[in-house]
Amino acid sequence: MPDIVLIGINHKTAPVEIRECIAFSGDESITALQTLRRLPNIKEALLFSTCNRVELLVVTNNKSHTISTTKNFIAEFNKIPLDQFHDALYVHEGDEAVRHVFRVAASLDSMVVGEPQILGQIKDAYRMATEIKSSGVILNRLLHRTFFVAKRIRTETGIGDHAVSISYAAVELGRKIFGELAGKAVLLVGAGEMAELAVEHLIRNKASEIYVANRTFENGVELAKRFNGQAIRFEEITNFLEFTDIIISSTGSPEFVITRDQVKTVIRKRRNRPIFFIDIAVPRDIDPGVNRLSNAYVYDIDDLQGVVDDNLEDRQQEAVKGERIVDEAVIGFRKWYASLEVVPTIIALRKKMEAIAAAEVQKTLQSHKIPADSAAAVQKMTGSLINKILHDPTVFLKKDGMAEDKSLHVDTIRKLFNLEE
């Protein structure tokens, strides 16, 4: 019976200086997988490498030997001495390896719990393994179960709910104020990665006009082009407050760019339609006093961080439900895995044949009124028929040192004869 072994390193066990030395790029992964597969005892292999983790999943005939050769392989491939990172490596076997794969794919083991990218990355890694045929019957089954479990956890728990990035938290807040964001006008003051990301989120939520104000008008024009928006002059901000519903501010200005008095007059002109300020700048751009005006809402970077922290805490709670689903899935996989054993398969095959034979013999005996002594002969004949038929497959399965993958044949026989219970 082959074993499933997982060797890995991640953001919890190793600092980035070590992880970046061990990480495999796309091309490196292919060479690494091809080399791994040719190592003695390794029957199947999958390599998964991101900036936060490297995981090597192998199916082997000789556990202890493979563990040490794989470790050495990682060291040699990356040209870094094993003792430098040996303590950061973790090794999981059998059920624990299966559980680890499920947890990683479901994003229960991620730095930001519930982040959705990881499943796609694992799918890519699996596709690579199938392309160079380094995965076989066990890893195929394991990975398909993994995708199923990850999807189930995402739909049945709130692990992916609520924003955990500053820019997305801003969009979520906007939805609590305006309901629909469709048709809302957005004004971006200044520039910056987080602010621009927030604008992109708003555009994806069908915000209508985008205005960009920058101290250097040319920069504003450039940025506005990217958002399909319109650049306005910095001095025009006050006028435009009347028409925009969401203002995202991110400038390097040492004093407030938008003051309370400025907004107060605008609120009346806006006929009290709500206005939402997102202040990502440090020092702040928007006078916090604006938040005290009715129908005006101001969130600064700390407030948004607070939202993110709350949401992260919620995800942790949802993760507990996810662990339960993983536990279930591990048990399910163990059942299938145990069924790959040769002896139980032969017994199951024989039982199935005997059941069919017994039923058919009885039918024949009843309908043809066969005398008792002939009946005994018929019974004996079906018995030896079963033995003859099963002889070759049994010898084949029990043969030691089979070159090909034995699990594959066991699995095929189980499928061909429909032996799944």
Partner 1 sequence: MEILIILTILFYIFSSGAYGAYLFLQKNFLQRSGYFVLAAGFLWHTASLIYSIAGTGHLPIGNLHQTLSLAGWAVAGLFLIIQFKFNLKILGIFAAPLVTLVMIIVSLLPNAPAEASNLFKNFWLISHVVAIFIGEAGFALACGLGVLYLIQENAIKTKRRRFFFRRLPSLDLLDATGYACIVVGFTLLTLGLITGFVYAKSVWGRFWSWDPKEVWSGITWLFYAALLHERITVGWRGRRSAIMAIIGFGVLLFTFLGVNFLLEGHHGEFTK
Q: Does residue 21 have an active-site annotation?
A: no
Segment (H or E) for 17: helix 16-22
Of 64 and 305, CB closest to partner 1:
305
| Residues 30, 36: Cα–Cα separation, whole Å | 10
Q: How many residues bind partner 1 (CB under 8 A)?
A: 22
- The answer to the question of residue 277 lying near partner 1 (CB under 8 A) is no
C-alpha 349 chain-centroid distance: 38
- The answer to the question of residue 175 lying near partner 1 (CB under 8 A) is yes
Binding residue (CB under 8 A) for partner 1 from 85, 102, 126, 178: 178
Q: How far is the CB of 188 from partner 1 (least distance, A)?
A: 22
Q: How far is the CB of 311 from partner 1 (least distance, A)?
A: 9
Upstream peptide bond of 254 is cis (omega within 30 degrees of 0): no
Question: Starting at the edge strand that comes first in sequence, how are the strands of the sheet with 3-10 ordered?
Answer: 42-49, 53-60, 3-10, 90-93
Place of tokens 């390599």: 47
Binding segment for partner 1 (CB under 8 A), chosen from 32-40, 187-195, 214-222, 290-298, is: 290-298
Spot the catalytic one: 51, 320, 381, 402: 51
Mask for 145-174, x = binds partner 1 (CB under 8 A)? ----------------------------x-
| Residues 346, 393: Cα–Cα separation, whole Å | 9
- The answer to the question of residue 180 lying near partner 1 (CB under 8 A) is yes
- The answer to the question of residue 257 lying near partner 1 (CB under 8 A) is no
Binding residue (CB under 8 A) for partner 1 from 291, 339, 379, 394: 291
Using alpha carbons, select from 217, 251, 232, 235 the residue that is nearest to residue 185: 232
DSSP 158-196: STT-S--SHHHHHHHHHHHHHS--TT--EEEEE--HHHH
Residues within window 295-354 making contact with partner 1, judged by CB under 8 A: 295, 297, 299, 303, 306-307, 310
**CB contact at 8 A, 141 and 102:** no
- The answer to the question of residue 272 lying near partner 1 (CB under 8 A) is yes
Of 310 and 360, CB closest to partner 1:
310
Using alpha carbons, select from 159, 172, 164, 249 the residue that is nearest to residue 204: 172
Q: How far is the CB of 169 from partner 1 (least distance, A)?
A: 10
**CB contact at 8 A, 101 and 6:** yes
What is the binding site for partner 1 (CB under 8 A)?
A: 173, 175-180, 268, 270-274, 291, 294-295, 297, 299, 303, 306-307, 310
Q: Hey, which residues are catalytic here?
A: 51
